[in-house]
Structure 1
Amino acid sequence: MRGFIGARQTTLASEIALTGTGVHSGAPVSIILYPADSDTGLRFLLSNGDADSTEIAADQRWVTGVTLCTVLGDGNGASVATVEHLLAALRGLGVDNALIEIDSAEVPIMDGSAARFVEAIDEVGLAELDAPRRYLKILKTVSVEDGGAYGELSPYNGFHIDVEIDFVANVIGQQRIDLDINPGSFRRELSRARTFGFMKDVERLWAAGLALGASLDNTVAIGDDRVINREGLRFPDEFVRHKALDAVGDLALAGAPILGAYKSSCGGHRLNSLVLKALFADEDAWTLVDAPRPSREIRHAELSHLAAVNFAAERS
């Protein structure tokens, strides 16, 4: 399997505490990421410092909003927004299990990318657990058309992203990124790409109660067909890289690392969510498989051979 991370599940080696601001709410936010046991998955704990805390799994079944960000809700009024960058960092670095305690209704935007989350995870490192890593294997192509957007998940021996965007604004235009996702490529190619927006939309968003915490410190601002931020872009194609970052985070809501290729054109959070819903609606399109666990007798040099393993397609 390309981008092979490991045969066993992982969690954080120790807890991580971060503070920031919600990009839409403008409110201060504190989060603590805790290590978690095998098969916990990625879960949010909405805490007000009392016994009425609510847990919401990072799962596509709990998506309640896809306008400008991805929102998870429990159906009873509790919700957490802008989860995609943090989930992208966790999935991109191969973290299978973590409990994310948050004291607000929105994950902090940090610098508009996943870079701070990646740095924090790298600072504490990962701990390997005893249970085998479980993958969601794509068995056949599932596709969705939504207006002028198109997305699909198809079989692939690894995790691959192919994202294309096409904006009228010349500063963006048509851009595409196409790469295998593993911890190294995620850090280098996607983690630092920031969210972006158009200055002409600011007043409309403010009137709708959105983007109240947006600033040049956390958003690439586009005005009069130029980038307003003094430092410019981090990549010539930072816009499509951020769309790919969002896709990795939204696809983390599959509930397990994906063995498959994701392709999208002119998409965003809504399209990413629709493709996952279409996938799970077709029971013949996917299966869950455990990574093969190498015996202790296998020499370290031979572990690279595991990258070519094709998992059996037995449903579990």
Structure 2
Amino acid sequence: MRKQRTIKEIVKVSGIGVHTGKKVDVIIEPAPDDTGIVFYRTDKNVLIPVNQNNVVDTTLSTTIGLNGVYVKTVEHLLASLYALNIDNCIIRIDNEEVPILDGSSAPWVYLLKNASYVEQKHYKKVLIITKPVKIKENGKFVALVPCRKFKISYAISFEGTFINKQKYELEVNEQSFIKEISKARTFCFLRDIEYMQQNNLALGGSLDNAVVVDDYGVINEDPLRYENEFVRHKILDAIGDLSILNYDLKAHYIAYKSGHNLNYKLVSSLLKDKKSYVIIGSPKQEVQVLEDLGFLKPAIG
């Protein structure tokens, strides 16, 4: 187990929301132990803690809300905070959507790393999966199964398109996230843009903040950042979606063609089945549970 963290310096950033197209200013501030991640809509004077109960929409992104006030597209920022082990902060935001920046988590990682962090007094609680939780829906699949680390195995399939099939697997930690996941950008198909904009989505989208694919390949002038950037971005989204649990995870997340909605259903299903997990609050308890699950050899003597 590790101690909780908050940021050392304030982070400020401005940008536009990818779906709303609205300009937004964000200020991330340090917070005390056990605060968690909390959005503060400064234009509405409403605090919105990040948790499963406050997820209100999962259409093409994850939206949290409280009392009719929302913050959309939180997943890239949340993934960055989770991967960098930043557990407590207040995110002051003056509009309804987190800025998309370049469509990846890389700018958030850069800003948060420059802000540095402060180790706090309390331990970060750990959620350990003790039995599998699975969801199958419309040819899609997602699961959390027992594992001594936080591991992700993800596969996507867009047969008949340039993307085709991709898969990727990694153990999630700060270093692997920064190197292998953080730079992967959100993506869409050119043919879907008109439909999305007719439904008030992707109004702020551009080739500067998304990879756009047509029948022949990527239409962006910039090359792909990874050969399999598309599945890596889906992993980025999944980390952000799972972070709403507010625990460090010891689990193997396995997904085929999943997305924000299925990830939310997985989290909800997990929390409803209290026999499928255990919450750990101390290093001694963590060792005991991992030994009981067979992930560690019992101490002798």
Give the TM interval when normalised to the shorter protein.
over 0.9
Query: 1:249-302: per-residue Cα shift (whole Å, max 9, x none)?
Result: 000011212111111101110111111011001011112112428xxxxxxxxx
Query: 1:30-67: per-residue Cα shift (whole Å, max 9, x none)?
Result: 1111111111111111111xxx5111111111111111
Amino acid at match of 1:267: S
Structure 2 residue 198 is the aligned partner of structure 1 residue 233: no
Cα pair distance change 1:60/1:311, threshold 3 Å:
farther
Q: CA deviation at 1:225?
A: 2.8
The aligned residue for residue 127 of structure 2 is 136
Structure 2 residue 145 is the aligned partner of structure 1 residue 154: yes
- Which of 267, 280, 283 lines up with 1:292 in the alignment? 283
The aligned residue for residue 168 of structure 2 is 177
Within a 5 Å distance, the mapping from 1:24-63 to structure 2 comes to 24-48=19-43, 52-63=44-55
Amino acid at match of 1:69: S
Within a 5 Å distance, the mapping from 1:1-316 to structure 2 comes to 7-48=2-43, 52-74=44-66, 76-292=67-283, 310-312=287-289
Percent identical residues: 38
CA distance in 2 between partners of 1:57 and 1:141 (Å)? 28
Contact 1:23 1:211 in 2 (8 A): yes
The aligned residue for residue 3 of structure 1 is none
Segment of structure 1 superposing worse, 78-87 or 60-69: 60-69
Name the SS for the 2:274 alignment partner.
coil
CA distance in 1 between partners of 2:105 and 2:214 (Å)? 24
CA distance in 2 between partners of 1:139 and 1:36 (Å)? 31
Contact 2:161 2:215 in 1 (8 A): no
Name the SS for the 1:312 alignment partner.
helix
CA distance in 1 between partners of 2:279 and 2:33 (Å)? 16
CA distance in 2 between partners of 1:138 and 1:43 (Å)? 25
CA distance in 2 between partners of 1:111 and 1:68 (Å)? 17
CA distance in 2 between partners of 1:184 and 1:209 (Å)? 37
Name the SS for the 1:252 alignment partner.
helix
Q: CA deviation at 1:224?
A: 2.2
Q: Which runs of 5+ in 2 are unaligned?
A: 293-301
CA distance in 2 between partners of 1:176 and 1:310 (Å)? 32
Cα pair distance change 1:290/1:116, threshold 3 Å:
same
Segment of structure 1 superposing worse, 101-110 or 160-169: 160-169
Amino acid at match of 1:106: E
CA distance in 2 between partners of 1:124 and 1:272 (Å)? 30
Name the SS for the 2:112 alignment partner.
helix
Q: Could you state the TM-score of these two structures normalised by the residue count of structure 2?
A: 0.93
CA distance in 1 between partners of 2:70 and 2:250 (Å)? 29
Q: CA deviation at 1:170?
A: 3.3
CA distance in 1 between partners of 2:129 and 2:36 (Å)? 19
Query: 1:224-247: per-residue Cα shift (whole Å, max 9, x none)?
Result: 231000112101100000000000
Q: CA deviation at 1:311?
A: 4.9
Contact 2:135 2:142 in 1 (8 A): yes
Q: Which runs of 4+ in 1 moved over 4 A?
A: none
Report the count of equivalent residues. Answer: 290
Contact 1:8 1:291 in 2 (8 A): no
Name the SS for the 2:200 alignment partner.
coil
CA distance in 1 between partners of 2:146 and 2:163 (Å)? 30
Q: Could you state the TM-score of these two structures normalised by the residue count of structure 1?
A: 0.89
Amino acid at match of 1:37: P
Contact 1:157 1:310 in 2 (8 A): no
